[in-house]
């Protein structure tokens, strides 16, 4: 574990793990062990007054591979305190704690214009309600966040309607993995994955200027313009590995009661009180740009360098 779910701090544990590994293992194994347990960029985080979690996870209730228990265990091992599940078009279950991890159900709605993560709704919309899904969510008192809006196959296709959403996934690991499927990118990724899986997943999280521009336009139209970072995890690559790659860090200590915790979590996201962090940059993350996005020059998969997102606040400054 890099950061235990409810107790202690990440830093001492990671240092201890790294020191143990350094003392005990062969040089190659040491590097890999230390890297896989404490992804650079996450090890400095303290959980005081903050909560770490995964946004947009699928379970067997739709097309994911794992149960609630599988997701919760993976989240706990990755040092997370919550996961927002977003199964496709199924009624949400009440908020609950599983293995000490808060699970909050959203609904990923398949609408004619694209996918929407609806948070705070009590049921999934009927097929005939999906055509006006953003209005439907708002009428039901929830928030509507566009899922993977720039995905080449499953992106959002109605620019005008997009502006009334509460925000969008400005970074989507699932979209990034989809974009790796060109021969020029796939071959290095497949070669590198067995040795450095974290680096491959991080490479899939390249900056997505189109998604950030979309959220900027939303804000200009009066939307809160929340920018989320989604794992969109289905269980392969394994949940835990994806949870270690990108996460939400909310500025709140989660209340013990699941229903109360879910309300606080919703509020923190809607207010943009927190940030997204991609593992890898650590202390090398440069100063954020005017949009609040910190982008660093990361090592390439096999050689050279690439641009990678380090952090950004859920709400642009
Ligand atoms: Zn989707
Ligand atoms: Zn999804």
**Whole-number percent of the chain with pLDDT over 70:** 85
Write down the pLDDT at residue 300.
Answer: 84
Write down the pLDDT at residue 3.
Answer: 42
279, pLDDT greater than 80: yes
pTM over 0.95: no
Mean confidence (pLDDT) of the chain: 87
Please write the tens of the pLDDT for every residue from 163-199.
999 999 999 999 999 998 888 889 989 999 999 898 8
- 232 CA → ligand 2 middle, Å: 5
Residue 52 three-state SS: strand
Ligand nearest to the backbone CA of 63: 2
Residue 6 binned pLDDT confidence (cut-offs 50, 70, 90): very low
Please write the tens of the pLDDT for every residue from 11-53.
233 333 333 333 333 223 333 333 344 455 565 455 679 999 9
- 218 CA → ligand 2 middle, Å: 21
- 300 CA → ligand 1 middle, Å: 28
Residue 103 binned pLDDT confidence (cut-offs 50, 70, 90): very high
> How far, in Å, CA of 9 to CA of 45, rounded?
8
Q: What are phi and psi of 61, to 5 degrees?
A: -70, -20
Please write the tens of the pLDDT for every residue from 46-83.
567 999 999 999 999 999 999 999 999 999 999 999 99
- 22 CA → ligand 2 middle, Å: 39
Ligand nearest to the backbone CA of 58: 2
1, pLDDT greater than 60: no
- 56 CA → ligand 1 middle, Å: 9
- 11 CA → ligand 1 middle, Å: 34
Ligand nearest to the backbone CA of 231: 2
- 294 CA → ligand 2 middle, Å: 25
Determine what percent of the chain falls in helix, strand and coil, rounding each to the nearest 5.
Answer: 35, 25, 40
Name the nearest CA neighbour of 137 among 276, 314, 315, 270.
270
Please write the tens of the pLDDT for every residue from 191-243.
999 998 988 998 899 899 999 999 999 999 999 999 999 999 999 999 999 99
Ligand nearest to the backbone CA of 62: 2
Write down the pLDDT at residue 46.
Answer: 58
> How far, in Å, CA of 81 to CA of 50, rounded?
10
- 213 CA → ligand 2 middle, Å: 21
Considering only 5-14, 225-234, 286-295, which range has the smallest mean pLDDT? 5-14
Give me the domains of the chain, ranges plus CATH numbers: 48-313 (3.20.20.140)
CB 148 within 8 A of CB 172: yes
- For helices 27-37 and 10-24, angle between their N-to-C axes, nearest 10 degrees: 160
- 59 CA → ligand 1 middle, Å: 13
- 196 CA → ligand 1 middle, Å: 27
Write down the pLDDT at residue 283.
Answer: 84
- 156 CA → ligand 2 middle, Å: 13
């Amino acid at each position: 574990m890099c950061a235990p779910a409810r107790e202690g701090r990440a830093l001492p544990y990671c240092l201890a793990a790294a020191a143990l590994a350094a003392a005990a293992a062969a040089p190659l194994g040491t590097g890999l062990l230390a890297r896989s347990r404490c992804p650079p960029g996450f090890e400095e985080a303290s959980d005081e007054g903050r909560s770490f979690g995964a946004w947009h996870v699928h379970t067997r209730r739709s097309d994911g591979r794992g149960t609630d228990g599988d997701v919760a265990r993976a989240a706990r091992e990755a040092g997370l305190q919550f996961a927002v599940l977003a199964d496709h078009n199924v009624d949400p279950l009440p908020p609950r704690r599983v293995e000490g991890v808060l699970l909050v159900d959203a609904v990923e709605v398949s609408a004619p214009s694209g996918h929407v993560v609806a948070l705070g709704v009590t049921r999934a919309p009927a097929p005939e309600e999906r055509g006006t899904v953003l209005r439907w969510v708002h009428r039901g008192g929830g928030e509507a966040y566009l899922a993977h809006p720039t995905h080449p196959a499953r992106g959002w296709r109605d620019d005008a309607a997009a502006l009334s959403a509460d925000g969008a996934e400005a970074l989507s690991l699932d979209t990034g993995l989809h974009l790796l499927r060109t021969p020029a990118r796939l071959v290095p990724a497949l070669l590198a994955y067995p040795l450095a899986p974290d680096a491959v997943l991080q490479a899939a999280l390249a900056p997505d200027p189109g998604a950030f521009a979309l959220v900027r336009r939303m804000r200009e139209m009066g939307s809160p313009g929340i920018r989320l970072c989604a794992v969109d995890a289905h269980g392969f690559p394994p949940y835990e590995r994806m949870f270690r790659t990108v996460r939400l860090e909310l500025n709140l200590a989660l209340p013990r009661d699941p229903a109360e915790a879910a309300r606080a979590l919703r509020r923190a996201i809607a207010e943009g009180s927190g940030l997204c962090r991609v593992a890898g940059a650590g202390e090398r993350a440069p100063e954020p740009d005017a949009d609040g996005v910190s982008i660093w020059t990361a090592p390439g998969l096999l050689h050279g360098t690439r641009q990678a997102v380090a952090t950004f606040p859920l709400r642009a400054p």
